Amino acid sequence: MTSKTRRILANAAAVAAVLASASLGSPPGHAHERETVEPAFEHALPNVPGKSLIAVVVTYPPGGRSPPHRHARSAFIYAHVLTGAVRSRVGDEPARVYRAGESFFEEPGAHHRVSENASDSEAASLLAVFIVDAQDKPLTVPDPGAATTP
């Protein structure tokens, strides 16, 4: 084997190693992406003075997640999975996967430890409905240090 052939094979092997290592990681644009939150509805409850009903659609890209968080202290939350599958862990309860059509709730003051897409290949979304004191903002507060974590 000539030295030129050895150099060509070595370069090809190096390129193959780089490509192989790149393909072992998460797909670009999908690794630990954050959720998006879109307001859907907000209205004061006329028969419950001082309370509002607020709804948001939370969409998780494949592999996406929310950082651990708490919601407004007065917020009771009903969540309904619209598409895909969402893994959720509230308080000390074990994590559970909820699929499209399933629902869960969070009591006021609950700690939402895990909220993420259960799939690395398909998007997921949920409708979160808050019953909350009208002046109790913000609706979601990431755990200290969690806001900068992907």
Residues 52 and 19 in one domain: no
pLDDT value of residue 145: 83
Mean of pLDDT values over 81-86: 98
For 96-136, how does the pLDDT look when each residue is reduced to its tens digit (9 = 90+)? 999 999 999 999 999 999 999 999 999 999 999 999 999 99
Residues 14 and 71 in one domain: no
- What is the C-alpha to C-alpha distance for residues 79 and 77, in angstroms, rounded to an integer? 6
81 lies in some domain: yes
122 lies in some domain: yes
Residues 69 and 127 in one domain: yes
149 lies in some domain: no
Residues 135 and 105 in one domain: yes
User: Per-residue pLDDT for 7 more than 80?
Assistant: no
pLDDT value of residue 32: 61
CATH number for 81: 2.60.120.10
The answer for residues whose C-beta is within 8 angstroms of residue 10's C-beta and 6 or more apart is none
Look over the chain and give the mean of its residue pLDDT values, rounded to a whole number. 83
150 lies in some domain: no
The answer for residues whose C-beta is within 8 angstroms of residue 116's C-beta and 6 or more apart is 60, 64, 65, 66, 86, 87
Structural domain span for residue 11: 1-29
Residues 93 and 53 in one domain: yes
Q: Are 71 and 130 in contact (CB under 8 A)?
A: yes
Q: What is the pTM of this model?
A: 0.75
The answer for residues whose C-beta is within 8 angstroms of residue 143's C-beta and 6 or more apart is 67, 68, 69, 70
Residues 44 and 114 in one domain: yes
Q: Partners of 45 in the beta sheet?
A: none
For the sheet with 103-106, list strands across it.
36-44, 51-60, 124-133, 76-83, 103-106
Residues 64 and 122 in one domain: yes
pLDDT value of residue 13: 36
Q: Name the strand (E) or helix (H) holding 108.
A: none
